[in-house]
Chain A
């Protein structure tokens, strides 16, 4: 704990920000300024309304030049927000940017405490800690990491498609990895999209084809990322490509094999149509699938199950594309940046038993209805119930699984609008009476409320009330109808509406494997599973991991316009990195003080990045700075204290401890 000789010339400037009233209304800024001014080596202590503003930064720069300051401490918001700002300001005034320390006085103080006295005491302790700490700061060089220009996009929904095309059009090489046999995601399932009611296929299919044909895009469908190594600029990614049992280079997409299959009719659950139709073991998910390649499902194909199929598909395939021996392939690629666009899944309404989904055949999910309405869906766009009849009355239940403590708390944002869209489309095709049961109608966004008003004028009924029960109508020995029971909260009475069909407007939720995916990519997600952006306003597509960006519903529920906007933003962030060519990263790596190293090797197995090796000739440990990511685990473990972590040196942290505790040294300790 002794002071180094050079400490004699240390000249600290201290600044505290009012942040308007965000800090100053809780923390007694004047008191902190006065306190700091009396600490050793502090040459100037000031406050300012907005330190991050230009005049605030200029204040620091002027002091650096005029008062010869060589250390700067700013008490303001979180370092996550403005550490960079102040480091830059210091460096522009000729100071090494790492001679700077920030005190989190807003997020971790004024915003979380009510008592001004205690808040001010806390600020004083942390300011003392920072001022003691900054004395030990070293001038460091920022590390530069080169950025590999290729990009990986994970997920081929509209988000992934748009991001991939944007990057490819800018001349970057893109790998687009999609789990399903075709790209398109949820949007490919819809017939029309709100609020414009334009045809989903008309706007999506050309983009899907463009992906397929783009010389800069490598499209791997029926594939999954199974491993990610490395870091920003240099990710090494492993992709598993599942066998389709079709030679992709030979298949011409004539679909003759499907026709020729020994099963004359579809017999098996059709995933894309959510089981509303049946498919054969050899199939394409939907007519506009991209790539237009058939898939053979080994679970249901007779050849795989018994080896005794007549193989009529093979006979008919002129290019000889069918290959029952195909194995899964693992591709290894190197990319510099990654865009995660894995989308969402819909809420499973079986979790709310009283809605009767799965029990009553005429209760459908909205997604199933999207398929029924779709011109290329299981009924070619005819709205018919499972028994083949046409519904004359339909209830649409909003907010299923959303805005409810027992299921998902959030509003899924698109359900009101897609319910209104479905109401319109169902009315148009069936002329049925349509009842919307809603809690609140939420239609924010451009043209959205206008859309709602228009639909209301078409005579669609809106009833405000959460549905309490759905049950078969048994009155008067009646008729196979379902009764929807709810309290009409505008009238204040219980109503029971008999209908032929019920549509559940299920909410959007994170994919079931969101936790696994986030671990693989080392990004964070909220407790419910949506991936977290670095800053909700200022870095909405960045993650906390440099070089990995988010697009679409994997970050939270949103509609197609917002998804596409976000995908464009993610592509732009990736482009910025690629075109800069490098990224500057924190120089918080560790190094070994050779003289002190006892050669005990205890640090070596601790490093998760195998950055530490043993120099046999010198009998010393050695840290490869390129591999070190700066966690500091080895530093904490070194018995001889001979490993130092830049920016988090022992002395720096010890002096923070002394500072926060206001510990005073005694003669013999100094």
Chain B
């Protein structure tokens, strides 16, 4: 749907979609305070709240890419500041590994980003989101679901009918 956005001269500009996992105590709070301060940033981000960046399961990230995210952003507290002492270190460990894993799948590692943003760094939310949106725009669409579908068409030589999730 976002692909339909007009860029003003009647042309459609492609808009990436970025799924973000923000920890409740620092980065989600920072995003709230960006709002309170009326800081403006790119609307391409979809924030999912978790209690701690340590809750971010590698599967959440892989699943996001598989289901159509062009980028995934994880936001947690600065090292030493995690509300649960060291969940962010656990997250960092997984993040490093995941960057290599997605790279080996052919997904550019720049599509996955981990940022420490404390509750007071509202403006950092703007900087990071805008940077990431620009970076992903430069990389272009990832569109794994479509690629997956094309691949299947090739294999099966007939189109697959799509259905709504709940049915």
A residues contacting B by CB (< 8 A) are: 3, 7, 40-41, 78-80, 104, 106-109, 111-115, 117-119, 121-122, 124-126, 129, 132, 519, 522, 524-527, 532, 544-545, 588, 606, 608-609, 629-633, 635-637, 645, 648, 650, 653-654, 656-658, 660-667, 670
Can you list 17 contacts pairing A with B, beta carbon distance less than 8 Å? A40-B164, A104-B32, A104-B47, A112-B43, A132-B165, A524-B25, A525-B120, A609-B84, A631-B51, A632-B54, A633-B52, A633-B54, A645-B51, A653-B60, A661-B19, A661-B67, A666-B160
B145 x A125 contact (CB < 8 A): no
A-B residue pairs, 8 tightest by C-beta: A107-B35, A632-B55, A633-B54, A631-B84, A660-B46, A118-B43, A111-B35, A663-B67
Q: How far is the CB of A606 from chain B (nearest CB, A)?
A: 6
Give A135's nearest chain B residue, CB to CB.
B166
Q: A104-B47, A108-B47, A648-B50 are in contact. Are A633 and B55 (CB under 8 A)?
A: yes
| Residue with the highest number of chain A CB atoms closer than 10 Å, among B36, B38, B46, B94 | B46
B41 x A112 contact (CB < 8 A): yes
User: Within 8 Å CB of A658, what residues of B?
Assistant: 67, 165
User: Within 8 Å CB of A606, what residues of B?
Assistant: 90
Bound Cα distance from A122 to B43, whole angstroms: 7
B52 x A661 contact (CB < 8 A): no
Q: How many residues of B contact A (CB 8 A)?
A: 64
User: Within 8 Å CB of B50, what residues of A?
Assistant: 632, 648, 653
Q: A112-B35, A524-B26 are in contact. Are A588 and B51 (CB under 8 A)?
A: yes
Q: A631-B52, A636-B56 are in contact. Are A663 and B31 (CB under 8 A)?
A: no
B residues contacting A by CB (< 8 A) are: 1-2, 5, 15, 17, 19, 25-26, 29, 31-36, 38-41, 43-44, 46-52, 54-60, 63-64, 67-69, 80-87, 90, 94, 118-121, 126, 145, 160-167
A661 x B68 contact (CB < 8 A): yes
Bound Cα distance from A656 to B20, whole angstroms: 11
A80 x B2 contact (CB < 8 A): no
A632 x B164 contact (CB < 8 A): no
Q: How far is the CB of B21 from chain A (nearest CB, A)?
A: 8
| Residue with the highest number of chain B CB atoms closer than 10 Å, among A112, A126, A609 | A112
Q: Which residue of the partner chain, among A522, A636, A664, contacts B163 with CB atoms under 8 Å? A: A664
Inter-chain pairs besides A107-B34, A657-B60, 4 sampled, C-beta below 8 Å = A108-B32, A632-B50, A645-B51, A658-B67
Bound Cα distance from A626 to B160, whole angstroms: 50
A631 x B55 contact (CB < 8 A): yes
B63 x A654 contact (CB < 8 A): yes
B84 x A608 contact (CB < 8 A): yes
Q: A648-B55, A657-B67, A667-B163 are in contact. Are A111 and B19 (CB under 8 A)?
A: no
Q: How far is the CB of A133 from chain B (nearest CB, A)?
A: 9
A666 x B57 contact (CB < 8 A): no
B90 x A663 contact (CB < 8 A): no
Q: How far is the CB of B76 from chain A (nearest CB, A)?
A: 11
User: Within 8 Å CB of A113, what residues of B?
Assistant: 40-41, 43
Bound Cα distance from A536 to B1, whole angstroms: 37
Q: Which residue of the partner chain, among A41, A78, A114, A545, contacts B166 with CB atoms under 8 Å? A: A41
A664 x B55 contact (CB < 8 A): no
Q: A632-B51, A633-B52 are in contact. Are A664 and B162 (CB under 8 A)?
A: yes
User: Within 8 Å CB of B121, what residues of A?
Assistant: 527
User: Within 8 Å CB of A115, what residues of B?
Assistant: 43
B29 x A635 contact (CB < 8 A): no
User: Within 8 Å CB of B162, what residues of A?
Assistant: 664-666
A519 x B1 contact (CB < 8 A): no
B38 x A112 contact (CB < 8 A): yes
Bound Cα distance from A658 to B19, whole angstroms: 10
A to B contact number (C-beta, < 8 Å): 185
A532 x B46 contact (CB < 8 A): no
Q: Which residue of the partner chain, among A125, A608, A635, contacts B55 with CB atoms under 8 Å? A: A635
Give A660's nearest chain B residue, CB to CB.
B46
B19 x A660 contact (CB < 8 A): yes
B31 x A665 contact (CB < 8 A): no
Q: A519-B80, A658-B165 are in contact. Are A632 and B52 (CB under 8 A)?
A: yes
A121 x B2 contact (CB < 8 A): yes
User: Within 8 Å CB of A124, what residues of B?
Assistant: 1
A630 x B19 contact (CB < 8 A): no
B68 x A633 contact (CB < 8 A): no
Bound Cα distance from A234 to B118, whole angstroms: 26
User: Within 8 Å CB of B36, what residues of A?
Assistant: 107, 111
Bound Cα distance from A606 to B54, whole angstroms: 10
A663 x B68 contact (CB < 8 A): yes
Q: A117-B5, A661-B69 are in contact. Are A629 and B84 (CB under 8 A)?
A: yes
B119 x A654 contact (CB < 8 A): no
A653 x B164 contact (CB < 8 A): no
B35 x A108 contact (CB < 8 A): yes
A633 x B163 contact (CB < 8 A): no
Q: How far is the CB of B26 from chain A (nearest CB, A)?
A: 7
Q: How far is the CB of A347 from chain B (nearest CB, A)?
A: 20
User: Within 8 Å CB of A132, what residues of B?
Assistant: 165
User: Within 8 Å CB of B55, what residues of A?
Assistant: 631-633, 635-636, 645, 648
Give B55's nearest chain A residue, CB to CB.
A632
User: Within 8 Å CB of B86, what residues of A?
Assistant: 608
Bound Cα distance from A650 to B58, whole angstroms: 12
Bound Cα distance from A7 to B167, whole angstroms: 11
Bound Cα distance from A630 to B59, whole angstroms: 19
Q: Which residue of the partner chain, among B15, B31, B43, B46, contacts A107 with CB atoms under 8 Å? A: B31
Q: Which residue of the partner chain, among B19, B38, B80, B90, contacts A657 with CB atoms under 8 Å? A: B19
User: Within 8 Å CB of A522, what residues of B?
Assistant: 83
Give B126's nearest chain A residue, CB to CB.
A112
Q: A522-B83, A656-B48 are in contact. Are A661 and B17 (CB under 8 A)?
A: yes
A670 x B163 contact (CB < 8 A): yes
Bound Cα distance from A108 to B29, whole angstroms: 10
Bound Cα distance from A660 to B82, whole angstroms: 27
User: Within 8 Å CB of A660, what residues of B?
Assistant: 17, 19, 46, 48
User: Within 8 Å CB of B48, what residues of A?
Assistant: 129, 653, 656-657, 660
User: Within 8 Å CB of A40, what residues of B?
Assistant: 164-167
User: Within 8 Å CB of A637, what residues of B?
Assistant: 90
Give B118's nearest chain A residue, CB to CB.
A524
Give A107's nearest chain B residue, CB to CB.
B35
Bound Cα distance from A648 to B94, whole angstroms: 19
Q: How far is the CB of B71 from chain A (nearest CB, A)?
A: 12
Bound Cα distance from A629 to B44, whole angstroms: 32
User: Within 8 Å CB of B56, what residues of A?
Assistant: 636
Give A608's nearest chain B residue, CB to CB.
B85
Q: Which residue of the partner chain, among B1, B31, B85, contacts A662 with CB atoms under 8 Å? A: B1
User: Within 8 Å CB of A111, what residues of B?
Assistant: 35-36, 38
Q: How far is the CB of B130 from chain A (nearest CB, A)?
A: 11
